[in-house]
Chains A and B, each alone.
Chain A
Amino acid sequence: MEDILNALVVLANFVIIPSLAYGAQLALGALGVTLIYAVLRFANFAHGDLMAFGTMTVILLTWFFQAQGIGLGPLPTALLALPFGIIAAVLLAMGTDRVVYRFYRKKRSAPVTFVIASVGVMFIYNALTRIFIGTSDIRFEDGERFIIRAGEFREWTGLAEGLALRSSQVHTLVIAVVVVIALFWFLQKTRTGKAMRAYSDNEDLALLSGINPGRVVLITWVIAAALATIAGTLYGLDKSFRPFNYFMLLLPIFASAVVGGIGQPFGAIAGGFIVAFSEVSVTYAYRRFLSHIMPEEWMPDGLVQLLSTDYKFAVSFIILVLVLLVRPNGIFKGRVI
């Protein structure tokens, strides 16, 4: 019995809890991508760099607050800086739309034109972030790091394995739940949210009904940029901030959005968790887990790892391909892209 508990603790500690946190971060990012796809009808390649930009602002402000001695006690200072980071990212996204995308929207350009324009935007965001904060790896978590420490857990339970619950993981989940509930309330219950869905569903009819497309697009950018900044900050608190990694997050985020069914907010959330759980569980070395439930003489050599951790981006993509082969519209029947 104790063996099984130990094994479960190992699994929770190294697979379940990290996947939940990572999945929530991906889901927030994928929600932004999917909303942009639903309303503006293109895959935004600059989304990872928008995340990086928002997070960078949060970090700069965190440093500023820390220097001023302003903090949130046990909570990370970054949470105090988050609203300001959101404002910065929202302004950037709105400015970009005004300068870049609006022109093509008026011309009713093909989606691929928007995608290529988003590549140009990606270069610019990329440069901005690096000019301000450089390219190095930055950790900006402060406050109380752990909610449960592995050692304490062992003492309480008397188990051989410890379970560590980091604050960043709990913050991620709590904030993600609040944000997602707020978003769905907005989309389902408010007049503006319904107008957004209507515009996404049938642009011509929305125009006929007097829905202002400029306003819908603007609100979409506000939401997407806010989600990107929140996702980026939570990811940075949980792991670390490095602009290049944020660019690379584009891949699992796209995978999450497409797997769930692009243009479908529920799909983005489901997709985020599917991708995160697959990534972590496929690249986790199960040796320690197995050592609790398997007789020693049966233990295989090696780490008992399906794929090396370096392949984690490959995992998200393999899922993407599999889902598209079996169910091309994604799990929640999004648009065919």
Chain B
Amino acid sequence: MRTVQTSDYRMPLLYAAMALALIMVGFFQSWTVALAIFNLCMISAIMALGVNIQWGYAGLFNVGIMGFAALGGVAAVLVSMPPVPEAWAVGWQGLALAALMLLLTIAAAIMLRRSYKGRGRNLLTAVIIIAGYFAIRYFADPATDAIEAVNPTSEGYLGGLGMPIILSWMVGGLFAAGAAYLIGRVALGLRSDYLAIATLGISEIILSILKNENWLTRGVKNVTGIPRPLPNELALQRSEWFADLAVRFDVPVTVMSSIAVRGGFAIIFIIVLVLIMILCERALNSPWGRMMRAIRDNRDSAAAMGKDITGRHLQVFVLGSAVVGIAGAMLVTLDGQFTPTTYIPLRYTFLIWVMVIVGGSGNNFGAVLGGFVIWFVWVQAEPAGLWLMQMITTTFEFGPAMRAHLVDSAAHLRMLLMGAILLTVMRFSPRGLIPEKTAAKPLR
């Protein structure tokens, strides 16, 4: 195995530069901003890590990251929010019957396909599924209507389990893994581009469910006030010891509290990232990881050696998606709210891809760095673009309408920047900032 000489000093240098950039933000903007960026960098890094498991280890092109992240987010709601007893009271019977119908439909369809192999098999299956669908709707519709009618301005859904939110990170991972298993069973047997189209579609389906099934997620009405694993800022500000601490550091207590909370999140996130990173690195350097890369680099010869390629791909697809799900749950925890409309593919799918490609596909440290760098650029590009447009509009003579238009369009400059970064890195440094250690094939 050939090692890349340059990466020996390159990696610490790049990480140091990234740290320096964040510290500069601390000095020149503010420490709360720096910590806020850092926390989202961490989440981006974990998502990028999940995608890198799929792409870097196995060459799977998943463009459904948004869907898995959203599934993680919904886990945060369903685990941590307090249950709504009235909603359960009015809806549980209907939902239970609907669930029963669902099980019956699946059982009937499977039974039919096992016992009857003759003509019209697909048609009969379709008939069973359609009949089952109406049966489910028959019981579910009144129940969901009733649930959604319970105190609709603040509740109108079943609520969660009222359990600690940290637990939801694992549940989020499981949700995403489960979805990935189902998708993988259908899509992984077929080749390359199809997985991309399939995952893009699935993530949109997941999102449309989360947006429309109000009884489960409140849909577009959002879920706010999700519990945190840390005390909130107000509580800190009121406590005496904290106020003393703020005086000692000579910062306003409000600033101190938000630094404390964000710093707390940062510490938890670092722990999670380190744990996932250790597992990823061990997996990558295990016989399993070597086999994955062998399959990625030469699918045909690996198949000839009797490796179960689809099976391996399914494993890696499920694992990577689970990591994305964990990050999705962490994101909702950090935000304290679940807002399905904020999930758009550019931000939650394609931006993550830019991170992975820029960071260095196949290298976990690269993916993490990519997450940091790209999120940092993404966040800082907006004020920079605004500043640029203001410079332009003050330097040149524009009518007020044109000026307003240009200033408005500043927000889109960062899209341009992201596209340019992605294409430039692909073209001139296809192995990314921190290339994969082994002599594998980069993006060709």
Contacts and interface: CB of A to CB of B under 8 A. Distances in A.
Contact of B423 (A42, A120, A134): A120
B192 A112 contact: yes
A146 interface: no
A113 interface: yes
B299 to A, nearest CB: 11
B201 A119 contact: no
Interface string A40-73: 0011010000000000000000000000000000
A121 interface: yes
A128 interface: yes
Contacts of B197: 43, 254-255, 258, 320
Interface in A315-336: 316-318, 320-321, 324-326, 328, 336
Interface string A298-312: 000010001010110
Interface stretch (A9-17, A103-111, A213-221): A103-111
Contacts of B420: 120, 124
Nearest to A131: B409
Contacts of B204: 248, 251, 313-314, 317
A122 interface: yes
A317 B141 contact: no
Interface string B56-70: 000101010000000
Interface residues of B, number: 48
A109 B443 contact: yes
A155 B209 CA distance: 43
B388 to A, nearest CB: 12
B412 to A, nearest CB: 4
Nearest to B411: A130
A200 to B, nearest CB: 16
Chain A CB count within 10 A is highest, among B133, B191, B193, B423, for B193
A119 B350 contact: yes
B423 A121 contact: yes
A159 interface: no
Contact of A131 (B205, B413, B444): B413
B353 A116 contact: yes
Contacts of B419: 120-124, 126-127
Contacts of A182: none
A115 interface: yes
B382 to A, nearest CB: 13
B444 A123 contact: no
Interface in A265-315: 302, 306, 308, 310-311, 313-314
Interface in B125-172: 133, 141
B149 to A, nearest CB: 15
A302 B141 contact: yes
A175 interface: no
Contacts of A117: 423, 426
Contacts of A179: none
A4 B15 CA distance: 72
Contacts of A121: 419, 423
Nearest to B345: A247
A271 B203 CA distance: 21
A313 B208 contact: yes
A196 B122 CA distance: 38
Contacts of A308: 212
Contacts of A123: 346, 350, 354, 415-416, 418-419, 422
B186 A321 contact: yes
Interface residues of A, number: 55
Given A107-B444, A123-B350, A130 B193 contact: no
A310 B415 contact: no
B190 interface: yes
Interface in B173-201: 186, 190-194, 196-198, 200-201
B357 A116 contact: yes
B416 A119 contact: no
A250 interface: yes
A324 B412 contact: no
A124 B416 contact: yes
Interface in B390-426: 405, 408-409, 412-416, 418-420, 422-423, 426
B427 A103 contact: yes
Nearest to A43: B193
B191 A116 contact: no
B208 A42 contact: no
A131 B410 CA distance: 8
B211 interface: yes
Given A123-B416, A131-B413, A326-B122, A112 B201 contact: no
Interface string A144-187: 00000000000000000000000000000000000000000000
Contacts of B191: 336-337
Contact of A130 (B196, B345, B415): B415
Contacts of A251: 200-201, 204
Interface of B: 59, 61, 63, 122, 133, 141, 186, 190-194, 196-198, 200-202, 204-205, 208-209, 211-212, 344-346, 350, 353-354, 357, 405, 408-409, 412-416, 418-420, 422-423, 426-427, 443-444
Given A117-B426, A120-B423, A127-B415, 17 more contacts: A112-B59, A112-B61, A115-B192, A117-B423, A120-B420, A121-B423, A122-B419, A123-B354, A123-B416, A123-B419, A250-B200, A251-B201, A254-B200, A314-B204, A314-B205, A317-B198, A337-B194
* For the complex of A and B, 3 pairs with smallest distance between CB atoms: A123-B419, A317-B201, A127-B415
